Structure formats: C-alpha cells, structure tokens
C-alpha cells in the first residue's frame, strides 16, 4: 500500500468543462445557473482536503433539485473522466500505477468516490474525490465512507501511511498438511494510535486479511517453483534466504513497507515449515 499523488490542478474548471460537454441543454443550463453555489462547495472541499478533514463535510441539500444533472456528469465514457484518469495515472509510480492501493491485490479498473456521490452529488466528478480502485474494494465500500466523524477507509491522497511495520503473517500447515497463512495487524511503538485505528478500520471494512491470505495462497506455487530449481541445483538454504530477503527489501521500497507479498515471502523463507514442504 502506497500513498498516491492527488490531482494537482484547480478542481472547479474540471466541473465546468464537464458541464460544457453536456448534450442535454436543459440540464446544462440548470447546472450553469448553480455555479455561484457549487463553486464555494468545491472551494470548501479543497480546503478540507488540504487539512485532511473531509469527514467534516456537512450535507445541506442545497442542490437536491439538480441532483440528477449533477450525477449525470459522471458516466463511463466521459472524456473528462478519461482525462482525469490519464493525469492521475501519470502522477503515480509505474510499479503501482494500475494496482488498487486500497488492497494492493487487484487491478484498479473503477473509480471510487472518496466522499459518496449519492450524499454529495456536487463532487461526482471532483478530481480530488476520485481514486482509481478495484471493483472488489469499490463494491465493498459502497457509500459507507464514514461513520459519524470517523473515516472508514484510508484516504491514500492525504492520510500519510506510517513508515513502520504493522502487517505480519504466520505460516502454518492446515488440516491437509499444506501451507496456509494468517495475516494480522500489530501495533508498533512510535505509530500514532489514531493512524493505527484508521488502518484497523480500513482492513476490517475491506476484509483485507482474508483477501491477502487468498492472494498469498495463489502466489505460493509460483514462489515454490522459483525456489525449488535453485535448491535442486545445489544452492544453499542460506544463500536462497539471503537473496530472497534482498529482493523483498527492493520490493518494499516500491510497493510499500507493509505490502502483503514481500511480507508473505519473508515469512516463508524464515519458516522451517516452508523448507520442510519444498
């Protein structure tokens, strides 16, 4: 999991460009007439975004009469959405550019609205409210982005991930004598407890420990097939462990300190269970 770079340009011109592209002239006129009240909402969103206080956004219903035209700006073939996607992708490190950073397990093919678009239709096409995510995370999250004043998910644009290990995995044999994994979160001294609480909510809301276990099981055979020929050719266990841990360190540098895959591989090569079953 890595922090993402947000859309850096002004946000409201994106909205007006989307309105200019509407073919429905009645909806277009209604949206343009609402610019004097919509623009301050964009400014407020951007201000709260900078202060990392989006959970304090208040629902006022001022634009309920134009909710449908607002939501209609967000559609799959929107050229404005395509431009936002291209801009956001080019801002990210290429190693994570196409991977959902909510889970780090699946391809980011869909848009997640950080602030729910049904609750805040004004921000349906706000470029700082759009984050590329996988379909699984998007469906699980739905509109449940906050509980009271607590965010349910990490905002990867503005919640700075700690440079401290909090993800661990146990390696063990299941009832069939096959390798299995148990992912868990551990609080580390020096980590803000508020940040750790948010991480707990994020992992819980998206069922990440179970999904990471499934990802690890799928990857296990690939890793075994990479290690087994080297061992059969006479490479020592110590050499295999050393080179693997070096590779894991390089992966963490680009994928994030608490990425499920290097965490899994480190646990494997440090486990007698793995070597006994290889």
For 231-260, write each residue's pLDDT tens digit.
Answer: 999 999 999 999 999 999 999 999 999 999
**Average confidence (pLDDT) over 64-79:** 94
**Is the distance from CB of 202 to CB of 209 less than 8 angstroms?**
no
What's the pLDDT at 249?
Answer: 95
**What torsion do the CA atoms of 60, 65, 70, 72 make, to the nearest 10 degrees?**
140
Q: Indicate the pLDDT class of residue 190, thresholds 50, 70 and 90.
A: confident
**Average confidence (pLDDT) over 35-49:** 96
What's the pLDDT at 30?
Answer: 95
**Is the distance from CB of 114 to CB of 54 less than 8 angstroms?**
yes
- pLDDT exceeds 90 at position 113: yes
**Average confidence (pLDDT) over 179-206:** 94
Q: Where are the domains of the chain?
A: 12-141, 167-277
Q: Dihedrals φ, ψ of 132, to 5°?
A: -75, 125
pLDDT digits (tens, 9 = 90+) for 14-39: 999 999 999 999 999 999 999 999 99
pTM: 0.91
Tokens for 12, please give them. 């409201």
pLDDT digits (tens, 9 = 90+) for 204-223: 999 999 999 999 999 999 99
Task: State the first-to-last Cα distance of the chain, in angstroms, to the nearest integer.
Answer: 29
pLDDT digits (tens, 9 = 90+) for 133-189: 999 999 998 888 888 888 999 999 999 999 999 999 999 999 999 999 999 999 988
**Which runs of consecutive H residues, i.e. helices, occur in the chain?**
12-20, 25-33, 35-50, 67-72, 79-91, 135-141, 193-205, 208-232, 237-255, 260-269, 272-277
The single residue listed with the structure tokens 């309105």 is 19
Q: How many CB atoms lie within 10 A of CB 176?
A: 7
What's the pLDDT at 207?
Answer: 97
SS3 77: coil
What's the pLDDT at 144?
Answer: 83
């Amino acid at each position: 999991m890595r922090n993402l770079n947000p859309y850096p340009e002004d946000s409201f011109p994106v909205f007006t460009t989307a309105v200019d592209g509407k073919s429905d002239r009645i909806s277009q006129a209604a949206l343009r007439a609402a610019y004097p009240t919509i623009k301050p909402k964009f400014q407020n969103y951007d201000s709260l975004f900078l202060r990392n206080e989006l959970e304090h956004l208040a629902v006022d219903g001022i634009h309920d009469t134009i909710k449908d035209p607002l939501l209609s700006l967000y559609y799959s073939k929107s050229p404005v959405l395509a431009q936002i996607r291209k801009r956001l992708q080019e801002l990210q490190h290429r190693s994570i550019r196409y991977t959902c950073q909510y889970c780090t397990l699946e391809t980011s093919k869909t848009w997640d609205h950080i602030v729910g678009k049904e609750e805040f239709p004004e921000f349906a096409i706000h470029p700082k409210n759009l984050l590329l995510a996988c379909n699984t995370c998007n469906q699980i999250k739905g509109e449940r982005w906050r509980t009271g004043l607590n965010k349910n998910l990490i905002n990867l644009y503005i919640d700075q991930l700690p440079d401290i290990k909090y993800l661990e995995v146990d390696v063990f044999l299941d009832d069939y004598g096959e390798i299995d994994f148990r992912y868990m979160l551990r609080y580390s001294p020096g980590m803000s407890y508020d940040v750790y609480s948010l991480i707990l909510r994020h992992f819980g809301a998206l069922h990440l420990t179970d999904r990471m276990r499934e990802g690890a099981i799928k990857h296990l055979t690939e890793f075994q097939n990479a290690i087994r020929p080297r061992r059969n050719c006479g490479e020592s266990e110590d050499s295999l462990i050393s080179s693997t841990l070096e590779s894991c360190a390089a992966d963490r540098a680009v994928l994030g300190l608490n990425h499920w895959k290097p965490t899994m591989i480190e646990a494997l090569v440090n486990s007698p269970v793995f070597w006994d079953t290889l």
